[in-house]
Amino acid sequence: MAMLAERDAAYVCVDAPRTDAVSAMPPVIEVTCPELGYLRLHGRNAETWQGSGSVAERFNYRYSHEELEEFVAPVTQMSKRVEDVIVVFNNNAEDYALRNAGEFQKMITNVRSTFGIAPEQAEGADW
């Protein structure tokens, strides 16, 4: 992380299956530059993550409401430390990415409206 921060490069936080597969990254939420926080959600389809026949099979996953809720607080915290936060849904089988992105957007909007302020303005708030 220090190397990225020294170069002002954004770390890409990744959500993927919690598995021992070589290609699975650990779930680390971190910010390494003040301009950008980046979260990429690939889905948690452990059965097809390693050695599946196609990318479509690998990312064939729709996040549940409860799983999406796991990201509200980390994304909100990231927004307090950077200018922009980008959340990319790469669970691109069927229409899962669009549905999950829409649901997550509503969750973030609800956080903002509940507290009456933008998360990035909530210095010291516990989210």
Q: Is the predicted pLDDT of residue 125 greater than 50, yes or no?
A: no
Residues 6 or more apart whose CB falls under 8 angstroms from that of 74 comprise 13, 29, 39
- pTM for the whole structure: 0.80
How confident is the model over 42-64, as a mean pLDDT? 83
Q: What is the C-alpha separation between 90 and 24, in angstroms, rounded? A: 14
pLDDT score for 27? 79
Residue 103, pLDDT > 70, answer yes
Mean pLDDT in residue range 84-108: 94
Among 34-38, 86-90, 112-116, the least confident range: 112-116
Find how far residue 58's CA is from the centre of its chain. 17
